[in-house]
Amino acid sequence: MARLVMKFGGSSVADIDRIRNVARHVKREVDAGHEVAVVVSAMAGATNQLVKFCRDISVLHDQAEYDAVVASGEQVTSGLLAIALQALGIPARSWQGWQIPLETSDQHGSARIEGIEGGPLVAGFKAGQVAVVAGFQGIHPASGRITTLGRGGSDTSAVALAAAIKADRCDIYTDVDGVYTTDPRVVPKARRLDKIAFEEMLEMASLGAKVMQVRSIELGMTHNVRIFVRSSFDKPEDIDPHRTPPGTLICDETEIMEHEVVTGIAFSRDEAQISIRSVEDKPGVAAAIFGPLSDANINVDMIVQNVSADGKTTDLTFTVTAADFERAKDTIEKARSAIGFARLDTAAEVSKVSVIGVGMRSHAGVAASAFRALAERGVNIRAITTSEIKFSLLIDAAFTELAVRTLHTLYGLDKA
């Protein structure tokens, strides 16, 4: 017998038939003797509609009331799934975030989890009850207000809950059957990975892979919660609950016997480049640039600095998301007198392609081979950043798919 957390996303609970299908998945695990807590998202499209309601009422709406509205989508799903399970003869009850309670900070719209009391759910397990938990939401204890964790927050709810109740694993059911070496829509030969290390998955999620929310991976790594990414559209009756689940296991790298040099290729088209030219090379210049951007809540990603031949001036290039591009340009222009730059060059049609793998720690020349391969295909590299287990390249957006396919083949990821 194991203790499981099963999380189902919006596409998995999009309508009544799919909720019934989810109930059959849960029944399979209960019939196998497992203790089960289920975390659900709102039905597909429901959160977007609730957000629209808030904006239609008032563009400058109160964030606490916004959370009260948008959290209701998960409340509906949790209640419906509990009813579906009861119809199958399984004792079940729904739980809202505040009832557990899942305690958070007071940053409405993107709250951070500060604690979970798992006792009530564990007590329910002893009585043979399935807990159906509304994901994405919690409560700020001091104010007593409902909070939400940001888009994709149900993943974070599920992993945090798994850590709190000491679950044997956390199964993330979604509309794909695991984590792939890259997006199969771009590279048809992309392969599903049997296992991937937390660090690699964290990089892939933060660099463009949409499978899981970044914060959920961070929690899994911190608390060593084994996470399976698997499909909710597999037939429940075709799966043996006593065997290793089909999908991809996200785990500590010590569980992976042999590491490939490269595990996957991630990419993001949601990028924009800003280059500040001929800035005086002196202490405090970087602070004058990035301080105002931070104050404007603009996240900066790749940063590259080039010092001129005379050592007196420098060029500084960085990237922001496409959504922040115009605000970032405006922020830098307003700080021109403090920064003292000669010219601002920008490019909106750029993409970031990243190569990820813990095997890079023990292999030399991994990046150099990529540079050669892309040069042979006529792909120009605008900027490069590296870390211990990945490197990222900024290129013109028109070459994104060519670059991804080239690198996927180069590192042998096409091969079964």
Annotated binding site for substrate, which residues?
47, 74
Q: Distance between CA 332 and CA 54 in Å, rounded?
A: 32
* Residue whose structure tokens are 């000491």: 166
Pairing of strands 35-40, 3-8: parallel
What number of other Cβ atoms are within 10 A of residue 213's Cβ? 23
**Measured CA distances, 318 to 95, 268, 350, 388, 397 (Å):** 44, 15, 12, 20, 16
Residue set of the binding site? 7-10, 47, 74, 174-175, 180, 185, 210-211
Give the residue from 351, 314, 348 showing the smallest Cα distance to 328: 348
CA 13 to chain centre: 20
Give the residue from 129, 150, 149 showing the smallest Cα distance to 140: 149
- C-alpha angle 168-170-172 in degrees, rounded to nearest 5: 160
Give the residue from 278, 264, 412, 402 showing the smallest Cα distance to 343: 278
Q: Distance between CA 301 and CA 322 in Å, rounded?
A: 12
Residue set of the binding site for ATP? 7-10, 174-175, 180, 185, 210-211
* Residue whose structure tokens are 């990820």: 356
Question: If phi over 0 gives left and psi between -120 and 50 gives alpha, with beta otherwise, what is residue 278?
Answer: left
